Amino acid sequence: MYVIGTSGHVDHGKSTLVTALTSIDPDRLPEEKEREMTIDLGFAWMTLPSGREVSIVDVPGHERFIKNMLAGVGAIDLALLIVAADESVMPQTREHLAILDLLQIRRCIVVITKADLVDAELVELVKAEVEDTLAGTSFQGCPMLAVSAKTGAGLDNLKAEIDRILGETEARRDLGRPRLPIDRCFSISGFGTVVTGTLIDGGLAVGQEVELAPSGLACRIRGLQSHKSKVDQSGPGVRMAVNLTGAARSDIQRGEVLTTPGWLRPTQRLDARLRMVRGAPHPLRHNEGVTLHIFTSETPARVRLLEQDQLNAGEEGWVQLLLENPVPAVKGDFFILRSAEDTLGGGQVVDPNPRRRHRRFSEDVVEQLATLDQGTGEDVLVSLADQAGACDLKMLSQKSNLPAEEVRQRVSQLAEQGGMVALGNLETEADAVVYSSQGWNKLKGQASAALQAYHQQYPLRRGMPAQELRSRLGLSQPVFLRVAARVSQEGLLAEDGQQVRLPSHQVSLTPALERQAAEYLRTLAQDPYSPPTDLPLDGELLGALIDQGKVVKVNESVVFTAEAYRQISDKIIAHLKANGKITVAEARTMLNSSRKYVLPLLEHLDQQRITRRVGDERVLR
């Protein structure tokens, strides 16, 4: 199914033409009927001679309602540019044409309406003026037909031409990422909340769990309709009415996107290629405030020009848009920028979630953006991974605008060729991640440098706590586990319990430290079950002795030699096997020691899961 959109100047007969074609009046608001002027979006549908059913979005033509027009034309497949024969090309004709051109709506029919009000010669003059207006746009050379909605003249030819063009139009690709930008929301008694929009990707089905972006509101599809007919499911390219449960009418506004949970991340920063309209009223300056329109959403934004200080009418350039409010967008989405009164330009999203604010006048930034915009699938995936670090396939699919299965195949091939590194099985593990080869080498260098610095700072420690390395690398726990396993497999680090180290790192004591350690151990052994607790010893050296298994620290002040600790443990275990339990007093008597040593010792045995406390007694676990 396809969607047609009207466009053109106010009072040129758009709604009248839609009514004549479909027998449906798209003007639904009382104010519209009273003023005989379209204010908001209207909707209708018809069956073409081939039996193909199409939806029609009728838009307002008045300059004050351009934002409503923009909410309706972002997802159309064919534009009808309406020009009245008795007025010819007018200001909103040109502005609507510029918007359609910026949105890269590739198919258009110029419809000369009110042909019954003028003679054939004037119709030809209007067509000539329209041809001049279309020159240099994507609609240059498009079909032109003269019709009269009042008499019906030319309507059959128009339907046939629409049928012909749509018959040659490729259906929307299903990338498995449902998105329905909401253009209307209302309530129906007995049914609840209903939203409408054009499904631009993926499919929806009754009973499906969905969410709204950017609000994140979770709800469920209670029912689906297309052209007032109930359906159980639908694919892309269809105008839908969706009955939702779990969402109140007041919770939803035009501009939200209905989608499946967990993949569409709202953003407040967009990288894009911007093109100024030829008739822009003034240059666009760096950091200028504008209004961004993307599908049915709009938000104030600032434009950071990355290559120049201003863009003049008709010029193009790379920009980063900083949005006041988050919007849900994906790579490839088209947008329009307007000032308070005028359309300034528009373009296409290249990166919907750039990680950082770009430096201006940077050749590297421009090269990255050009690769994302024009590179091959492999180039784009590698470039995205270069920027993002660890990527899962879902994220790469969203950012590259490629189907998930195509992404998996391309990434698998790149991994075999050495262009990417896969951590996990891409076929069977949903949480598998990939790095570009450059990103992987950079990560390994960061890990090696972090460990090297740690070993230099703490030469007496066996290694760095694994969680500290994870934090320094800025990785999530699941990704870090995969990274550590792979780097260990490659022989670049050694895992030692909860610590990691460079394989070359070994704790080695200087002769002076060896003497201090020997004297410390000798002193502890003089009274092994009641060792002194005030011996001065550097904490790093004590840690080395613990790592080497020469001493056991049971609390902040009590340290036993490893041999003494083993003897004590054996005595207590033997007593428990013989008697079933032991108290602090019994242990103190048995060891000829004091509570100062026995209590922390028993607590340590509890921590080691050798014993278990029951009231004032210990038993074997």
Q: CATH no. for residue 588?
A: 1.10.10.10
In the predicted model, is pLDDT for residue 28 greater than 80? no
Number of separate domains in the chain: 5
- Same-domain status, 38 and 146: yes
Q: What does the alpha-carbon distance between residue 551 and residue 539 come to, in Å, rounded to a whole number? A: 13
Mean per-residue pLDDT, 266-288: 94
Does the residue 281 lie in any domain?
yes
- Could you tell me if 199 and 240 are in contact, meaning their C-beta atoms sit under 8 angstroms apart? yes
- Same-domain status, 9 and 139: yes
Q: What does the alpha-carbon distance between residue 303 and residue 338 come to, in Å, rounded to a whole number? A: 11
Please report the pLDDT score of residue 574 as a whole number.
Answer: 92
Confidence class for position 32, pLDDT limits 50, 70, 90 = low
Confidence class for position 219, pLDDT limits 50, 70, 90 = very high
Mean per-residue pLDDT, 93-104: 93
Please report the pLDDT score of residue 118 as a whole number.
Answer: 92
Does the residue 174 lie in any domain?
no
Where in the sequence is the domain holding 454, given as residue range(s)?
375-508
- Same-domain status, 355 and 402: no
Please report the pLDDT score of residue 146 as a whole number.
Answer: 96
Amino acid at position 423, single letter: L
Is the C-alpha dihedral spanning 193, 199, 202, 204 positive or negative? positive
Does the residue 291 lie in any domain?
yes
- Same-domain status, 501 and 528: no
Please report the pLDDT score of residue 36 as a whole number.
Answer: 66
Mean per-residue pLDDT, 423-428: 88
In the predicted model, is pLDDT for residue 13 greater than 70? yes
- Same-domain status, 207 and 239: yes
- Give the CATH number, domain containing residue 324: 2.40.30.10
In the predicted model, is pLDDT for residue 471 greater than 70? yes
Does the residue 94 lie in any domain?
yes
In the predicted model, is pLDDT for residue 188 greater than 70? yes
Does the residue 15 lie in any domain?
yes
Point out the domain boundary residue: 455, 489, 508: 508
- Same-domain status, 34 and 47: yes
Packing angle, helices 562-579 and 511-526, rounded to 10: 30
In the predicted model, is pLDDT for residue 37 greater than 90? no
- Could you tell me the CA-to-CA distances from 224 to 211, 217, 237 in Å, in that order? 16, 19, 15
In the predicted model, is pLDDT for residue 69 greater than 90? no
Looking at the chain, the whole-number percentage of residues with pLDDT higher than 70 is 99
Does the residue 297 lie in any domain?
yes
- Same-domain status, 105 and 245: no
Buried/exposed 485-505: b ≥16 CB within 10 Å, e otherwise: ebbeeeeebbeeeebbbbeeb
Please report the pLDDT score of residue 19 as a whole number.
Answer: 93
- DSSP code at position 372: H
Please report the pLDDT score of residue 267 as a whole number.
Answer: 93
- Give the CATH number, domain containing residue 28: 3.40.50.300
Mean per-residue pLDDT, 525-542: 87
Mean per-residue pLDDT, 277-285: 92
- Same-domain status, 10 and 64: yes
Mean per-residue pLDDT, 187-207: 91
Point out the domain boundary residue: 200, 235, 259: 259
- Same-domain status, 154 and 194: no
Does the residue 370 lie in any domain?
no
pLDDT 10s digits, 114-158? 999 999 999 999 999 999 999 988 899 999 999 999 999 999 999
Q: Which helix (H) or strand (E) holds 588?
A: helix 584-591
The phi and psi torsions of 210 (rounded to 5 degrees) equal: -135, 170
Q: What does the alpha-carbon distance between residue 491 and residue 503 come to, in Å, rounded to a whole number? A: 7
- Could you tell me if 505 and 499 are in contact, meaning their C-beta atoms sit under 8 angstroms apart? no
Point out the domain boundary residue: 365, 386, 407: 365
Dihedral-angle region of residue 501 (phi above 0 means left; psi in -120 to 50 means alpha; beta otherwise): beta
CA dihedral 215, 216, 220, 223 (to 10 degrees): 30
- Same-domain status, 479 and 420: yes
Does the residue 305 lie in any domain?
yes
- Same-domain status, 225 and 317: no
What does pTM read for this prediction? 0.74
CA dihedral 169, 170, 173, 179 (to 10 degrees): 10
Mean per-residue pLDDT, 323-338: 94
In the predicted model, is pLDDT for residue 222 greater than 90? yes
- Could you tell me the CA-to-CA distances from 529 to 2, 5, 533, 555 in Å, in that order? 87, 90, 12, 14
Is the C-alpha dihedral spanning 76, 86, 141, 335 positive or negative? negative
Q: Could you tell me which of 491, 489, 572 has the C-alpha nearest to residue 529?
A: 572
Please report the pLDDT score of residue 221 as a whole number.
Answer: 96
In the predicted model, is pLDDT for residue 30 greater than 80? no
**Rg of the chain over all Cα atoms, to the nearest angstrom:** 36
Please report the pLDDT score of residue 63 as a whole number.
Answer: 72
Residues 6 or more apart in contact with residue 216 via CB below 8 angstroms = none
Q: What does the alpha-carbon distance between residue 520 and residue 518 come to, in Å, rounded to a whole number? A: 5
Mean pLDDT of the chain: 91
Tokens of 272: 């894009």
Please report the pLDDT score of residue 26 as a whole number.
Answer: 83
Residues 6 or more apart in contact with residue 32 via CB below 8 angstroms = 38, 39, 40, 42
- Same-domain status, 146 and 44: yes
In the predicted model, is pLDDT for residue 401 greater than 90? no
Tokens of 339: 């000032």
